Amino acid sequence: MEKKYALVTGGSRGIGRAIALKLGSMGYHILVNYVSNEIEADQTVQFIVDNGGDAEKIRFNVANQVEVETVLGAWLISNKTEYIEVIINNAGIKKDNLLMWMTNEEWRSVLDTSLEGFFNVTRFLLKGMLVKRYGRIVNVVSLSGVKGMSGQTNYSAAKAGVIGATKALAQEVAKRKITVNAVAPGFIHTDMTSDIEAEQYKKIIPMERFGQPEEVAAAVAFLVSREASYITGEVIHINGGLYT
């Protein structure tokens, strides 16, 4: 049986880990990307293996184009007959601040990780999909990129940029049976929301709860599947009805 490969950027924790585990259970060999937390990346790989799947960790900073192309290029050389048929662009950071107080670094680093990261990874791996005439790209964006969030001008801009890129790229590659979609989580229980007063925000969520990473992973799994072959350029909202 031919081995199928999926890359999950920012796959060591939170939503990325949940997606990696879900795709691993679907038979994909998972490339778990991480930047610094090797212990968590190792745990994600182990969880996938313990669940009967196959995975390996792969370290690079998505914001660094040279690093992305060097590391992924080396992987492709070592796996000459293979290609990565699924890309999950999940890597992202937040550095919240009001715009009037926001530093250049807070602005630049957030955009570099989400928006430049999408560009660096996707452009480099897209050729393989085009040659094989098949691929699935799912970008993890955010409620912030859809409606904007006070104190997150940088994060909202980065995710909104990825949403626009999703819609444009979907049109470019549709003829080659490559779909490009996005999922936009709302408030999900992860490290990124650990400092939020959950009880306060639950009051404005129709379902009156935060979501779980596994609920995001389930939507991603569908978009990656063959059953979703006629869905492209879409943004799936996963927010408990907060923004409808």
C-alpha–C-alpha distance, residues 173 and 191, integer Å: 34
Q: State pLDDT tens for residues 102-143.
A: 999 999 999 999 999 999 999 999 999 999 999 999 999 999
* Spacing of C-alpha 40 from chain mean position: 17
What is the arrangement of strands in the sheet containing 4-8, beginning at the earlier edge strand?
A: 54-59, 28-34, 4-8, 84-89, 135-140, 178-185, 235-238
C-alpha–C-alpha distance, residues 73 and 5, integer Å: 15
- Give 147's Cβ-side CA count (13 Å radius): 11
Asked whether 166 and 182 are in contact (CB, 8 A), the reply is yes
| 28 noted as active-site residue | no
pLDDT of 78 strictly over 90: yes
Asked whether 58 and 31 are in contact (CB, 8 A), the reply is yes
Q: 0.85 exceeded by the pTM?
A: yes
| Radius of gyration (C-alpha) of the chain in whole angstroms | 17
* Number of Cβ within a 10 Å radius of residue 90: 28
Percent of the residues in the chain that have a pLDDT greater than 90, as a whole number: 84
Residue-wise burial string across 218-227, b where 16 or more C-beta atoms lie within 10 A, e elsewhere: ebbbebbeee
Q: DSSP letter at 91?
A: -
Q: State pLDDT tens for residues 192-241.
A: 665 666 667 788 888 888 889 999 999 999 999 999 999 999 999 999 89
The residue from 28, 134, 155, 230 that is catalytic is 155
The confidence band for 28, taking pLDDT boundaries of 50, 70 and 90, is very high
